Amino acid sequence: MCSPSGWVFSRPVIAGIAGFLLSLPPAHAEWTLAAYLGGAHTVPTSLRLQAPQGNSDLLLQPVSYQTKPFQSPVYYGYRAGYFFTRHFGVEGEFTHLKVYAETERTVQISGTWQGVAMNESAPLDSVVQRFNITYGVNLILTNFVARKAFRPEGQAARFLLAGRVGVGFTVPHAENEILGVSNSEHYQVGHAAWQVGAGFEVRLWRRLYAETGIKYTRTDQSVDIAQGTAESQLKSTHAVAGFVWHL
């Protein structure tokens, strides 16, 4: 037990600690909600088709993709974030990226199909009549965010510049037709994905901001085809614009 003199001694100490804590600047914690539209460019890559039961393993390259951001279902995304200080936070983000293989283009086809060796240049649609992921590669990411406020006005900045790095997973919905055989379309658990990006916000009204941004994403996808799997590395550059609400 403390003696009376101990209590007398501790009161100034406690008062000093309390005063110090009260003098600290506020943490400025806040939530943010964002929604955006935009588009993406996915660079040409390879497409590998594997059907072990059919003794088939083909590599087709280079395969070019369109993303058709404004064709239904459109490209879109949204985020929810929590900033535990003015400058640092975490976010959950969903991006509805799409890809459409340009099947009329000529590619190099090598490997075996149904036990027959192949090594030739031919239009992609001689093997692949359709290879699309139109209901989304569906990137689901956790972002780590750093941001800088410019020209602050009280608790609300006029401009914000943010950089983010994200990692997560994908839920692709592939639609394909290989040698005239279509797959059974369905959502499936995809592979890991990561991104880096930057965004610029300008305040419109109260805590509503307009946002523009760019980002780069990468994911090695493996999706079901009728008799096996198809693998393709998707490296995409995105440009987006939307709105952010600072709660």
Task: Give the global pTM.
Answer: 0.85
Q: What is the tens place of the pLDDT at every residue in 35-55?
A: 999 999 999 999 999 998 888
- CA–CA separation, 225 and 56 (whole Å): 12
Mean pLDDT of the region 88-109: 98
> pLDDT tens, 2-32?
444 443 435 654 555 555 444 444 457 899 9
CA distance 28 to 34: 19
Rounded Cα gap, residues 101 and 95, in angstroms? 19
Q: Which domains does the chain show, CATH number per domain?
A: 27-246 (2.40.160.20)
Which three-class secondary structure state does DSSP give residue 101?
Answer: strand
Encode 158-207 in three state secondary structure. EEEEEEEEEEEEECCECEEEECCEECCCCECCCCEEEEEEEEEEEEEECC
> 3 burial class (0-12, 13-18, 19+ CB within 10 angstroms)?
exposed
What's the chain's average pLDDT?
90
pLDDT exceeding 70 applies to what percent of the chain? 87
Q: Say which DSSP state 24 is in.
A: S
